[in-house]
Structure 1
Amino acid sequence: MNAIATGAEPTLAPFAAPDTIGVLVSDVTRLLRRRFDAQARSIGVSRAQWQVLIALARSEGINQAGLAERLDVETITVGRMVDRLEEAGLVERRADPADRRAWRLFLTPRAHPILAELQVVALGVRAEMLAGLSAGDEAALQGLLLRLRGNLSVREGAGA
C-alpha cells in the first residue's frame, strides 16, 4: 500500500525537493539568463543573437557544427541564426581550408561595439547577482562551480 492509501504522511519524491543543488543551479541559470535577456533587449539584441555573438567571441573560426554543440541546439538552427546575423552584417562565413563542405564563422567589425555593450550588461547583471557576497565567497563559489563542471565534463567526455 502507498502512503496516500494508508493515510501516512507522504515523503517527498526526489524531484519534489525544492532546494537541491541541481534545482538551485537551474533556477539561478534561468534567472540570470532572464535578467541578461531583458538588458540585452534594451540594446536591441535577442537571446539567440547574444548567444551566438558571445560564443563566437570566445571561439572565432568555429564551424557551424561546433557552434551548434556549444549552444546545445541543432546544426540547422545555428544555420538559421547565422544567416540572420550574416544578413545584419555581424557575422561572416569563410570557407574552411581543411574541409570544402564546411564554413568557419567569424565576427565582423560591426559586431564588436555590440559585444562591448553586452559586456557592460554582463558586468551589471554579474554585480547584481553577486551583491552581498564577499570576494572570498565569490572565489569559493567559482571554485566549487569549476569543480562541478569538471566532474561532469570528465563523465561526458568518457561517454557517460
Structure 2
Amino acid sequence: MNHDANPGFLFADIGRLMRQRFQQQLDHSELTYAQARALIYISRYPGSRQVELAELMEIQPITLARLIDLLQQQQLVERRADPRDRRAYRLHTTAAAQNPLQQIRQIGAGIYEQMMDGLDARQRDELASSLVQIRSNLSGSQTPASTHPEPQPI
C-alpha cells in the first residue's frame, strides 16, 4: 500500500487540516478552537456533567474545567448544580451562546463544503456510508451502517 493512501494516516492528516482551517476561520472570534469545540459539545449534550463531557471529548477533566471557566466568563455557558450530587455540575449553554454557535456551525459547513469539493452526491453518500461503517467496526457495534444517523459537518 502506498504510504500516502494509508487510511489511518489519512484520517489523522484530514483531522489536522480541518482543525487548522477551523482555527484560521476563528481568528476574528473571541473563541479558540478548544473553546469552540467545548461549546459545541455542551450544546449537543445539554445537562452533561463535566466528567462525562471530558470523556466524550477525550480530554482531561481539569482541561475541560479551564475551558468551561473561560466560556462561563464570556457568559456562554453556565454550571448548574446537579440535584443528585452536590459535588457535580451540569453544563448548559446560555442564550448568549446562540450567535457564537451559529458562527461555529457556519465555519464547519464551509469547511465541509471545501472538503467535499469535487465529489458528486453519490460519492459523498458513499464516503459517509463507508465512514459510518468504519466507525461501527471500530466501536464494536454490530448495528448495520445504514441505521446510523447521517454525519453532520460540525
Q: Normalised by the size of structure 2, how large is the TM-score?
A: 0.86
Amino acid at match of 1:146: V
RMSD of aligned C-alpha atoms? 1.6
Deviating beyond 3 angstroms after TM superposition, the runs of 4 or more aligned structure 1 residues are none
The answer on 1:39 being equivalent to 2:32 is: no
Counterpart for residue 126 of structure 2 = 140
Q: How many Å apart are 1:71 and its aligned residue? A: 1.4
**In structure 1, how many angstroms separate the alpha carbons of the residues matched to 2:15 and 2:88?**
32
**In structure 2, how many angstroms separate the alpha carbons of the residues matched to 1:41 and 1:49?**
13
Deviations 1:83-139 (A, max 9, x none): 111111110000111212110000011111110111111111111110000011011
Gaps of 5+ in 2: 142-154
**In structure 1, how many angstroms separate the alpha carbons of the residues matched to 2:27 and 2:43?**
19
Q: Normalised by the size of structure 1, how large is the TM-score?
A: 0.83
Q: 2:54 aligns with which of 68, 73, 78?
A: 68
Counterpart for residue 10 of structure 2 = 24
Q: How many Å apart are 1:22 and its aligned residue? A: 0.3
**In structure 1, how many angstroms separate the alpha carbons of the residues matched to 2:114 and 2:30?**
21
Q: Flag the structure with larger Rg.
A: 1
**In structure 2, how many angstroms separate the alpha carbons of the residues matched to 1:129 and 1:18?**
17
Q: How many Å apart are 1:18 and its aligned residue? A: 3.2
- SS state at 2:78 partner: strand
Gaps of 5+ in 1: 1-13, 156-160
Counterpart for residue 10 of structure 1 = none
Aligned length: 141
Residue identity (%): 37
Counterpart for residue 158 of structure 1 = none
